[in-house]
Structure 1
Amino acid sequence: MHLAAISFVGHENDAAFYAVNVVGTTNLLDALVQLPERPDRVLLASSANIYGNTARSPIDENQPPAPVNHYGMSKLAMEYMARTYRDRLNLVITRPFNYTGPGQDANFLIPKLAMHFAAHAPSIALGNLDVEREFNDVQMVCDAYLLLLAHGEPGEAYNICSGRPYALRYVIETLARMTSHSPRIEVNPAFVRANEVHRLCGNPNKLRVLLAKQGAVLTEPALEETLARMLLAAKGRTAASIN
């Protein structure tokens, strides 16, 4: 299972996306091919960012890719590169949509929000507020990875998603309700991406059909459950920093 990558879309070094996500994966696959006993399956984590901006929603795996940022471009390049190993390795490609949970770096949107709300910060600087994303729980994604590593069809790509998108403004309102705190929301132009993906919602049917054949069903925690765990973790970090 290969999950290592530069995954923060706003990473400052554009070339690093390709050095790590494409060349790094190539090096790994080369090493696997040379093993005396090759693995039964190799799961590669791509990204729903390969789809880019599309009027089609929810997005299934047949949607033509059209990435709009270096992260999405590097993941698509990784997928195409991996095809050259299909005669030697049983590769399963995953395309996870946005997910989050306790422990995610505060560079990412939801943990940043959780930290600010947990600390009752007076204000939060954000980028584009008019976006919609799935914000799935990391545990669901991990369960999907393990099931696909065991049962995924080699050569196939699978969306890992719930098909439930949330507007960012709704997430902010939910956190405000859960913490009884309403910080001032400031839009920082430096955080607004010109190549923003405005809506990203996936079709989970292909994965669900595969898992149903194995008698498996993914547990999909509600957004409020995930946020509650993240707020608890953020409060713990705040208390630790004070002590």
Structure 2
Amino acid sequence: MNLLGKKILVTGADGFIGSHLVEALLDKGCDVRAFVYYNSFNSWGWLDTLPPEKLKNLDVFSGDIRDPNGVSTAMKGCDIVFHLAALIAIPFSYHSPDSYVDTNIKGTLNVLQAARQHNTERVLITSTSEVYGTAQYAPIDEKHPFQGQSPYSATKIGADRLAESFFRSFETPVVIVRPFNTYGPRQSARAVIPTVITQLLSGAETIKLGSLSPTRDFNYVKDTAQGFIELAEADAAVGQEVNIAMGEEHSIKDIADILISTINPNAQIISTEDRMRPEASEVFRLIGDNQKIKSLTNWKPKFNMESGLHDTVDWFRVPENLARYKAWLYNV
């Protein structure tokens, strides 16, 4: 499928990955409608930081993914939907699981129902590597068992299986896109890399983190966005669930050490109890197998860990960007 000439909707367009995906689609010359979360400030989230020449080509729809009427209205006339709207913070899901069910499961159901109603040509549902839980074997391919180790991951498992059921029951042209840990400019401070960078750039000598031993497979955000685009273009991906992964493993401590050496070599790391996940909920190892996406598309990562972290730190060094973050708080 060629995306040019198609009307494309991106839900969660105001968020971290969503804003980068919108920007990549605009750079490609696509006709994009951005679904952003309605608020009284008329904020478009991270889209507000895009250059005016890009924003003038963007069709923005304010709504709530939990509202089926608004979702249907937004999807009317769209050929392709990238569904990224979600609640994603794991600690917040411990005490507010109802909101995760409403947003992640019911929100996805709204998108799938509207896709049936409007005969949408392709629907890309955003999953997460957290659905796998701690690796039972490595690298993790798409046949790995699912394990809901947090309310967040459980709702994403539920949303994925709903998407699968719509493909099997109604032939809804669904692709389940499963990024591993994405990082880069604009990421929320609830994630480990922005947490470390913002503490360091704010002058902290003691960097507070949770557990240091878990490992993750980190994708730079531009590579993740490109993976979404290439999977949308791949007809053979319909009905599939596909990892977007580097296939590399880095511990939280390793990443923190790299950032400390880059920004302030005198800083020290401490693990604090309030930042620890419950032991049975902590995902101790994630490393993805990327053979499937490579077999279906021409995707391959353009950024390694060094270049991705370099670009991320440079973005945070811009005063107006750093000022958006509350480095002194633990962001759940």
TM-score with structure 1 length normalisation? Answer: 0.91
Please give the residue correspondences for 1:86-165 in structure 2 after superposition, counting only pairs within 5 Å.
Answer: 86=167, 87-151=170-234, 152-165=236-249
Which residue is equivalent to 2:86? 5
Please give the residue correspondences for 1:39-54 in structure 2 after superposition, counting only pairs within 5 Å.
Answer: 39-54=120-135
Amino acid of the structure 2 residue aligned with 1:42: V
Helix, strand or coil for the counterpart of 1:158? strand
Please give the residue correspondences for 1:1-243 in structure 2 after superposition, counting only pairs within 5 Å.
Answer: 1-11=82-92, 12-35=95-118, 38-86=119-167, 87-151=170-234, 152-194=236-278, 195-211=281-297, 216-237=298-319, 241=323
Question: Quick one: distance in 2 between partners of 1:165 and 1:54?
Answer: 12
The answer to whether the 8 A contact 1:127-1:187 is kept is yes
Which residue is equivalent to 2:3? none
Dislocated runs of 4+, deviation >6 Å: none
Offset of 1:220 from its aligned partner? 3.2
Amino acid of the structure 2 residue aligned with 1:142: A
Helix, strand or coil for the counterpart of 1:67? coil
Amino acid of the structure 2 residue aligned with 1:232: D
Offset of 1:67 from its aligned partner? 2.1
Offset of 1:240 from its aligned partner? 7.0
Helix, strand or coil for the counterpart of 1:202? coil
Helix, strand or coil for the counterpart of 1:200? coil
The answer to whether the 8 A contact 1:136-1:220 is kept is no
Question: Quick one: distance in 1 between partners of 2:108 and 2:204?
Answer: 40
Aligned length: 236
Question: Quick one: distance in 2 between partners of 1:239 and 1:84?
Answer: 41
Helix, strand or coil for the counterpart of 1:193? coil
Which residue is equivalent to 2:45? none
- The answer to which structure, 1 or 2, has the higher relative contact order (CA under 8 A, 6+ apart) is 1
The percent of aligned pairs where both chains have the same amino acid is 27
Offset of 1:181 from its aligned partner? 2.8
> Aligned pair in 2 of structure 1 residues 25, 122: CA closer, same or farther (>3 Å)?
same
Question: Quick one: distance in 1 between partners of 2:133 and 2:261?
Answer: 32
Amino acid of the structure 1 residue aligned with 2:179: P
Structure 2 residues not aligned, in runs of 5+: 1-81, 324-332
Offset of 1:180 from its aligned partner? 3.8
- Bigger shift: residues 98-107 or 229-238: 229-238
RMSD over aligned Cα, in angstroms?
A: 1.8
Offset of 1:137 from its aligned partner? 0.1
Offset of 1:175 from its aligned partner? 1.1
Question: Quick one: distance in 2 between partners of 1:199 and 1:238?
Answer: 35
Offset of 1:185 from its aligned partner? 1.6
Offset of 1:13 from its aligned partner? 1.2
Helix, strand or coil for the counterpart of 2:231? helix
TM-score with structure 2 length normalisation? Answer: 0.68
Q: Deviations over 1:135-163 (max 9, x none)?
A: 21000000000000110521111011011
Amino acid of the structure 2 residue aligned with 1:221: F
